[in-house]
Amino acid sequence: MITLDFGYAAGGLFFAASALLSAADRENEKRWKSALFWGLLATSFLFGPRLGDLGNGVLVIALVLLAGVGGLGQGRPATTTREERLASAERRGDRLFVPALIVPATALLGTLVLRRIEVLGAPLLDPGQATLISLALGVVLALAASVAWLRPPLLAPLQEGRRLLDTVGWAAILPQTLAALGVVFSAAGVGDVVGQLAGGVIPLGSRSAAVAAYTVGMAVFTVIMGNAFAAFPVMTAAVGLPLLVRRFGGDPAIVCAIGMLSGFCGTLMTPMAANFNVVPAALLGLPDRDGVIRVQLPTALLLLVGNTLLLYLLAFPR
């Protein structure tokens, strides 16, 4: 059976390769700091369960210190020339997007089909993590297809991946960090406190008010915390499970899925989601750092209203 360990191993090997390539890049003035940062992240992915709570805690503190003291450097990996890339783009046109489409197609296939396949009486994929495993498989398949089709230099895929990591910097792991923060908040009982406050405000027996509190609360907490994965355990423990699922009999899968989508509406509205809204603006040289958020705001609000209506209409028995 393929488990989520496959995804962690694939990610860990990539970060390890990025660390080695960073260490060898003399064009990067902070190559040793970058190499240590990505090397520690690779260690977390590959050996995290063996490090224990204390070891992982020390590793996270080291990552924060490396990113916070002087930041990470940016290398200049040698892959293909600009002329070669332009020629390839002109020759292949829109077909260049095919490898990128392999990733969501594989994730969808794994979620709907592969999770039901058994080999020698055992599931092919861990049923509880089928989507994430399929996503990791899709990335590997897309990489293999790209290499077989484009035939780049041997290290070009890894070098280009490292170049992107260097460009984004520490913000590349911001979603993972904030998701962990959400789990910490949930374990600390923040969800219970928010639930008590919500229970005092939401009219008793009002399903529509509870739905709005959950979807809007997901968006607001995401704006504050910067990531829907961080807001999800707090708001689901506070409103989603006790009110929508237990009190009103909502379908847990639909409640959680649409709740997460509502949180993503908040992602479009906050500079706290630096890897989505701030870093791209800086990379593109936009004069207004918050310009991306202003453009996204109307769409985010419309989607939030739509998610609220969908949750109210689809999640509860009629």
73 and 164 share one domain = yes
pLDDT at 118: 82
Inside any domain, residue 184: no
* In-domain check, residue 288: yes
Domain of residue 9, residue span: 5-171
What does the pLDDT read at residue 53? 86
Task: Tell me the pLDDT band of 200, cut-offs 50, 70 and 90.
Answer: low
| Same domain flag for 61 and 132 | yes
β-bridge pairing 118-119 and 122-123: antiparallel
Q: What is the pLDDT of residue 117?
A: 86
Strand partners, 125: 2
CA dihedral 98, 99, 100, 103 (to 10 degrees): 120
Output the average pLDDT for the chain: 86
Same domain (yes/no): 131, 208: no
Confidence of residue 278 (pLDDT cuts 50, 70, 90): confident
pLDDT digits (tens, 9 = 90+) for 129-177: 888 899 999 999 999 999 999 888 888 888 888 888 887 788 788 777 7
Domain boundary among 114, 138, 171: 171
Q: Classify residue 254: in a domain, yes or no.
A: yes
Residues 44 and 137 in one domain: yes
177: in domain:
no
Q: Which residues are CB-neighbours of 16 under 8 A, at least 6 positions away?
A: 38, 39, 42, 46
- Residue 191 is predicted with a pLDDT of 67
Share of the chain above pLDDT 70, in %: 96
pLDDT computed for residue 229 by the predictor: 82
Same domain, 155 and 214: no
Pair (156, 298) in one structural domain: no
Q: Which residues contact 72 (CB under 8 A, 6 or more apart)?
A: 30, 33, 34, 37, 66, 166, 169, 170
Higher-confidence residue: 292 or 218? 218
- Residue 93 confidence (pLDDT): 86
Choose between 77 and 253: higher pLDDT: 253
**Residue 233, in any domain of the structure:** yes
The position carrying tokens 């070098």 is 159
Residue 199 has pLDDT above 70, yes or no: no
Which pLDDT value is given to residue 70?
72
Do residue 86 and residue 126 come from a single domain? yes
Least confident of 83-87, 175-179, 258-262, 302-306: 175-179
If 0-12 CB within 10 Å is exposed, 13-18 middle and 19+ buried, where does residue 316 land? middle
Number of domains making up the chain: 2
Q: Are residues 13 and 145 in the same domain?
A: yes
Is the same domain home to 87 and 199? no
277 and 225 inside one domain: yes
Q: Indicate if 116 and 227 belong to the same structural domain.
A: no
Q: For residue 89, give both structure tokens.
A: 């783009």
**Residue 218 C-beta-side C-alpha neighbours within 13 Å:** 33
- Same domain? For 128 and 225 the reply is no
237 domain residue, yes or no: yes
Q: How confident is the model over 221-263, as pLDDT tens digits?
A: 899 888 888 888 888 888 888 889 988 999 999 999 999 999 9
Whether the Cβ atoms of residue 115 and residue 2 lie closer than 8 Å to each other? no
Please, which pLDDT band fits residue 204 given cuts at 50, 70 and 90? low
Express as a percent the part of the chain with pLDDT over 90: 34
CB neighbours of residue 86 within 10 Å: 10
In a domain, 183, yes or no: no
Does a structural domain hold residue 181?
no
- Number of C-beta neighbours around residue 188 at 10 A: 11
